[in-house]
Chain A
Amino acid sequence: MSNPQHLQYTKEHEWLTAAVDGISTVGITKHAADALGDIVYVQLPEVGDTVTAGETCGELESTKSVSDLYSPVTGEVTEVNQDVLDDNGLVNSAPFEAGWLFKVRVESTDELLSADEYDALTHAG
C-alpha cells in the first residue's frame, strides 16, 4: 500500500494536505476505498458549512455498506469536489488525486498521523 508521505492521516482513514493559504484538502485513503468497495453514493458537506474535527460531515455508501465521513479538521468548507459527486468511482480509482472530497479553511485539527504511523496502523493485524 502506498500512502503518500506528504499527507497526514486520521485513524478513520481520511487524509489531509498541508495547508496552503490556510486551506487544506481532505479525502479518504486507498485503504479505506478498497475496504468499502465500489462507492455508489457520496454525501459531502456544503460550501460554507462549518465542519468539526472528529465529527461526521458526510457519508460514503458502497455496494455492501455505508460509512460515515469524519472531518479531520475544524473549519469552514471552501470547496467540494463536484467531479466526485458526479462520478463516485473517482474515490475508488484515484483516492489521493482526482477523488479528493472537500477543501476546508483550517481552524484546528484533530490529532493526525504521519504516513509512517498510518502505514503501521493499516498494516497492523
Chain B
Amino acid sequence: MSSLRLTALDALHRALGATMTDFAGWDMPLRYGSEREEHLAVRTKAGLFDLSHMGEITVTGPQAGEMLDHALVGFVSALGVLRARYTMICAEDGGILDDLIVYRLREDAFLVVANASNAQLVLDELIARAKGFDAVVTDDRDTYALIAVQGPEATGILAETTDADLPGLKYYAILPAKVAGKDVLLARTGYTGEDGFEIFCHPVDAEPIWQALTAAGEGHGLVPCGLSCRDTLRLEAGMPLYGHELSTDLTPFDAGLGRVVRFDKTTNEGAFVGRKALEQAAAAAESNPPKVLVGLVSEGKRVPRAEYTVVSTDGAPIGRITSGAPSPTLGKPIAMAYVDAAHAAPGTTVAVDVRGKHEPVQVVALPFYKRAR
C-alpha cells in the first residue's frame, strides 16, 4: 500500500472524497462521485483531470531530433517547433512498446510523454537508443505534474486563468505560458474526444493551478474527473489504450495505425529501430489483412468486456474484445475488438460470448463519438 506513488494533488483528491485506485503504481483518483456524471460533464461542459502519472522524458541536444528518428517510428525531426505528434516506440521485432506524444519545445529539445505503465521501459529504451547520438535523455517524471481541462467549456475556463493566446494554440501544439501566474507548458492534445488542454506544471504549482481552474470553472459546470470516465471517454472517441488495443504482440500495422510508421525519414539513412520487421508487417498487411480493430455496439444491456471472445452468428470464434463499457453518451454498451477481416465491415452482425451467452452486437465504424466542430 505505502509503496504507491502519490501525485502533488493527493491531499486535494482526498479532501474531494475521491475513490482512489492503484494505477501503474500510482494512487490515482478513479472517480469523485458518479463516473457517468463526470463523463457527461466532459461531453457537455468541462472536466478537470489529474494526469500526473504520465511519464515525461526530455531529450535535448544538437542531435535530439535525429536520435528520436532512430528510436521511434515517427519522423520526429520534421516536427515544427511547438508542435506535437502522436507516435510509437517499437521493439526490433516491430512490436509496440508504447504509444507516445512527442512535443517539440525548441529546435534541440523534445518532450516525450509515455504511458505511466510503460514510462520506465521507454526511458530505459531511449537512454540505450541515444548511444552514439549527441543527445541527452532526462527522466522528468518528477519535474512535472500534469493537469488536464477537457470539454466544450475548457477554453472559456482556462482563459480566466491565463493570458496565453488560446485561439492561436492549435490542436496538437504546445506553448510556454502562465496559468494562475505559474510557469507552465500548455498543450492542446486531448484524449477524451473533446477540445481541451493539458497543463504541464511544477508539482508545487499543481494545487494552486487546480484551485484556480476550479474557481474559474464555477458557473461553467466544471467538475473534477477520475480515470474511470477518462477510459469511457477515450473508448467513445475510439482512441487506443496501451495494454488493451496496443501491445508488444502487435505491430502498428496490426493495430490499424500503420500511418504512424514513417518509412520516409531522411535522417539516419532512413534506418530506425524495428524498420525491417515493420516493412515486412506493412507488406503482410497489404497482401493478407490481419485482424481489424472495429467498434461494436450492443442493443442489450450486458457489457462486452476486455478479453471476451467475439463469435460469428454461427458461433465460430472470430476475434476478441480489447475494451468495453457502457457508453454514457450512446446509452448502450460499446466495445472495441480485433476481428477477422471477413467480419469487419460496418453493419455486420456478430456476437460476443458474455460469460457463456452469445449477445448479438453490430460492427460499426470507429469512433463511436465525434464532437461537432
Contact = CB atoms under 8 A, between A and B. Distances in A.
A46 interface: no
Number of chain B interface residues as a range: 10 to 19
Contact of B35 (A37, A41, A61, A66): A37
Interface stretch (B44-52, B285-293, B301-309): B301-309
B7 interface: no
Nearest to A92: B34
B19 interface: yes
Interface of A: 34, 37-38, 40-41, 61, 63-64, 66, 92
B301 to A, nearest CB: 4
B228 A64 contact: yes
Contact of A38 (B35, B231, B302): B35
Contacts of B303: 40-41, 61, 66
B94 interface: no
B35 A63 contact: yes
Contacts of B19: 34, 37
B305 A38 contact: no
B36 to A, nearest CB: 5
B150 interface: no
B335 to A, nearest CB: 13
A9 to B, nearest CB: 21
- Chain A's interface: helix, strand, loop or mixed, by majority? mixed
Contacts of A63: 35-36, 228, 232, 325-326
B31 A37 contact: yes
Nearest to B31: A37
A41 B301 contact: yes
Contacts of B305: 66
Interface string B217-235: 0000000000010011000
A64 B302 CA distance: 12
A40 B232 contact: no
A42 to B, nearest CB: 9
Given A63-B325, A63-B326, A92-B34, A40 B301 contact: yes
Contact of B326 (A34, A40, A92): A40
B301 A38 contact: no
A99 to B, nearest CB: 14
Interface of B: 19, 30-31, 34-36, 228, 231-232, 301-303, 305, 325-326, 333, 355
B228 to A, nearest CB: 6
A15 to B, nearest CB: 21
A61 B303 CA distance: 8
B223 to A, nearest CB: 15
A37 B229 CA distance: 11
A105 B355 CA distance: 29
Contacts of B231: 64
A67 to B, nearest CB: 12
Given A63-B325, A92-B34, A37 B228 contact: yes
Contacts of A34: 19
A19 to B, nearest CB: 32
Contacts of A66: 303, 305, 355
Given A37-B35, A63-B232, 12 more contacts: A34-B19, A37-B19, A37-B30, A37-B31, A40-B326, A40-B333, A41-B302, A61-B326, A63-B325, A64-B228, A64-B231, A66-B355
30 contacts: A37-B19, A37-B30, A37-B31, A37-B34, A37-B35, A37-B228, A38-B34, A38-B35, A38-B36, A40-B301, A40-B326, A40-B333, A41-B301, A41-B302, A41-B303, A41-B326, A61-B301, A61-B302, A61-B326, A63-B35, A63-B36, A63-B228, A63-B232, A64-B35, A64-B231, A64-B325, A66-B303, A66-B305, A66-B355, A92-B34
Contacts of B301: 40-41, 61
Nearest to A125: B1
Nearest to B37: A38
B156 to A, nearest CB: 28
A92 B302 CA distance: 18
A64 B235 CA distance: 12
Nearest to A35: B19
Contacts of A41: 301-303, 326
Residue among A34, A64, A66 with max Cβ neighbours from chain B (10 Å): A64
Nearest to A61: B303
Contacts of B326: 40-41, 61, 63
A84 to B, nearest CB: 13
Nearest to B300: A41
B28 to A, nearest CB: 14
